[in-house]
Chain A
Amino acid sequence: MPKIHGMTIALIGSAIAAVGVMIAPLFVDLFQIMQLTVFAAMAILALSLGFIWGYGGILCFGQTSFFGLGAYAYAVAAINFGDSTPAIVLAIIVPVIFAALLGYFIIYGGVSDVYLGVITLTVSLILLNLVNSTAGDVYKIGTARLGGFNGIPGVPTINMPGDSSYILSPEQAWILTGLALIAVYLGLRVLIASTFGRVIIAIRENETRAALLGYDPRIYKLLTFMIGGAVAGFAGALYVNWGAFVSPTIFALGLSAQIIIWVIIGGRGTLVGPIIGCLLVQWMVTEIGSQQTLDASFILGAVLIGFVLLVPKGIAPTVRDFVAARLSRSNSDTVIEDVKQ
């Protein structure tokens, strides 16, 4: 049953955020705009895990597989076609197909949740090593050389659909990425409020009961996994577009771990949470990176431990519960449910 009230809040918040995205270039300099662009692309990646883990109950340790495949698919397609529009489409299709195959064997094979994490992590490392060893002229797709550990430089960035000579300026790329983040957020919100969304939450809560009521948990989990792959792949395309460069490190362990940290800090079971967690951690890492005394990974580890011990639910659910408690004390009831998400 869709929460009308909650959806209204999401829409108003998104509208304000959209206006913020549009006017940001008037107030901040180009360097910060570039910074915000990569933060927003990463926040979409955070949303992909926030969705499949927080709502589908699937802890995927290798969300970078889909992110990286999306990035490479975009790069290869953009070089071959000289046009970014079909490249973005491919950056979604390729990870979805990969997620469908991988997810089919894991989920229909009856592999338990813990091993799903192990398998997905391993797959991302296999992709890392695979792409790493594609240096040399023989490894190319069409005109795009994969470049092994050197990566693919000079990837064409996003152009206007239908006019490949009109390349988006950094400000326009920021607006595109920022609005894409909001669109993905709203899309997932609508999905969660739909019957499909209700059912995947039910399966997360009690798979046995869902099956005994006639829902096949496997197909729902597989579709959830594929949607997560699509969103991560899209994030990958936007990420490549930011730096015009992609290398195998995109599959590396560090990023896989970071995505999980974003979601834990921001809060599982919400969509705003992973965005907040992602932006906060990235901002923090950037700030710490600009000074030399303390190591960023060290601080990040300490922050994570602090959160797990003190704010185990994460930022967004903790704030939500606090607001809900205050409201129910002053009002009467009913509002609690609506503030959710």
Chain B
Amino acid sequence: MSVTPLLETKNLTIRFGGVTAVNNVNFTLREQELRCLIGPNGAGKSTFFKLLTGQLQPTEGHVHLRGKDISGAFPHQISRLGVGIKTQVPNVFDAMTVEENLWIAARQKHTPIFSSDLAEAIMTQLRLTGIAKREVGQLSHGQRQWVEIGTVLAGEPDLILLDEPAAGMTHDEVDRTAELILEINKKRALVVVEHDMQFIRKIAKTVTVLHQGAVLIEEDVHTALQDKRVQDVYLGKGLAV
């Protein structure tokens, strides 16, 4: 008897006019699994995430969350079912403070007082306490990414999608992000999109490679990165494969 997977897509497809951005993707993720999703620019990674979170509606195919069909649902409905996403370009509340950003995120599920405590705990975990009262709009790109990750954590999702969490971060920040992801993974499932292969090697167990909207291979990280086809699609992109 097979266990119901946390996330399962069946023949997931989206077309924009003549372009098929995501093509017949069958993707399965177990509870508490950590999966890395890689692929060259334009492979459809971010579009895939938008389909999972309801920001785009699939042309064909379905998304199942714990066996429940969520294709066609609104982003807020999917969020309430326990899916959180850090988008590629940070989506944060610029005119609000770091603390307020996290509080709003926590308040969706919790009482005001518990939300304050949760926001406090997450700021400690992400080392944001020092900038708690700063407006997010005034922060650096890296800090804004952390705030966004914080808002995702404050929503306490079972599945976290991270779209390029290490982009624009310093070497130390990248290391911390990797540690953090492994820490989060103790409780929650994650799908991480990233271009930084050293980062991928640090965190990944299984890697799914997307190319031109379709799954190229899905393998153990070492096998995947040494695969001839994967190297071919990345070739000339200047990435350390």
Q: Identify the stretch in A150-158, A211-219, A251-259 within 8 Å (CB) of chain B at 4 or more residues.
A: A211-219
Q: Flag whether B61 is at the interface (Cβ < 8 A).
A: no
Tell me if B42 counts as interface (CB < 8 A to partner A).
no
For the complex, give the distance between the alpha carbons of A81 and B155 in Å.
52
Interface status of A1 (Cβ within 8 A of chain B): yes
Give the residue name and chain of the A residue nearest to B119 (CB): A1
* Interface stretch of the complex, out of A197-205, A288-296, A298-306: A197-205
Number of residues from B at the complex interface, CB < 8 A: 31
Tell me what chain B mostly uses at the interface: helix, strand, loop, or mixed: mixed
Let me know if B133 and A213 touch, CB within 8 A: no
**A195 contacts the other chain (Cβ, under 8 Å)?**
yes
CB < 8 Å: which of A201, A213, A334 contacts B105? A213
Tell me, in angstroms, the Cα distance from A288 to B135 when the chains sit together: 42
CB-CB contacts below 8 Å: B72-86 with A: 74-76, 79-80, 84-85
Q: Does B116 contact A (CB under 8 A)?
A: yes
Task: Report if B143 contacts A (CB, 8 A).
Answer: no
Partner of A213, one of B74, B94, B99, B104: B104
Least distance between B119 CB and chain A CB atoms (Å):
9
A214 to B116, CA, bound (A): 18
Chain A interface, number of residues (Cβ within 8 angstroms): 22
The 8 Å CB contact of A212, one of B79, B94, B100, B109, is: B79
The 8 Å CB contact of A205, one of B74, B84, B94, is: B94
Q: Taking the complex as formed, is A286 at the interface, i.e. its CB lies under 8 A from any CB of chain B?
A: no
A205 touches B85 (CB 8 A): no
Q: Assess whether B53 is in contact with A206, with CB atoms less than 8 Å apart.
A: no
> Is the beta-carbon distance between A209 and B76 smaller than 8 angstroms?
no
Cβ A213 vs Cβ B95 within 8 A: no
In the complex, the answer to whether A212 meets B84 with C-beta atoms within 8 Å is: yes
Chain A contacts of B94 at CB under 8 A?
Answer: 205-206
Tell me the interface secondary structure of chain A in the complex: helix
Report Cα–Cα, A206/B94, bound state, in Å.
Answer: 8
Tell me the smallest distance from the CB of A197 to a CB of chain B, in Å: 11
Per-residue A-contact encoding for B55-99, CB less than 8 Å = 1, 0 else: 100000000000000000011100110001101000111111101
Distance between Cα atoms of A103 and B55 in the complex (Å): 23
* A253-281 to B contact mask, C-beta < 8 Å, 1/0: 00000000000000001000000000000
**Chain A 16-39, CB within 8 Å of chain B: the 1/0 string?**
000000000000000000000000
Q: In this assembly, does A321 line the interface, its C-beta being within 8 Å of a C-beta of chain B?
A: no
In Å, the complex CA distance between A214 and B91 comes to 14
Contact present for B116 and A1 (CB under 8 Å):
yes
B-contact bits for A171-215, CB 8 A (1 contact / 0 none): 000000000000000000000000100110110011011111111
B107 sits at the interface (CB 8 A): yes
Instruction: Decide: A214 and B133 in contact? CB cutoff 8 A.
Output: no
- Min Cβ gap B67→A in Å is 21
Task: Give the complex CA separation of A201 and B93 in angstroms.
Answer: 9
Tell whether A337 is near chain B: CB-to-CB under 8 Å. Answer: yes
- Closest chain A residue, CB of each to CB of B106: A213
Q: Is A333 an interface residue (CB 8 A)?
A: yes
Which residue of chain A is the closest to B100 with respect to CB atoms? A1
Q: Mark B31-50, 1 if CB is under 8 A from A, else 0.
A: 00000000000000000000
Determine which residue in A202, A334, A337 has the highest number of CB atoms from chain B within 10 A of its CB, and name it: A202
A-B pairs with lowest CB-CB distance, top 10: A214-B79, A205-B93, A209-B91, A211-B75, A214-B108, A216-B76, A214-B80, A211-B76, A202-B104, A202-B93
Chain A residues close to B by CB (< 8 Å): 1, 195, 198-199, 201-202, 205-206, 208-217, 269, 333-334, 337
Given A206-B91, A212-B55, 20 more A-B residue pairs with CB atoms under 8 Å apart are A1-B103, A1-B116, A198-B104, A199-B104, A205-B94, A205-B95, A206-B92, A209-B93, A209-B151, A210-B76, A210-B93, A211-B75, A212-B84, A212-B87, A213-B84, A214-B109, A215-B108, A216-B74, A216-B76, A269-B95
Q: List 13 A-B contacts (CB under 8 A).
A: A1-B112, A1-B116, A195-B112, A201-B96, A202-B104, A205-B92, A208-B87, A209-B151, A211-B76, A212-B76, A213-B84, A214-B76, A337-B133
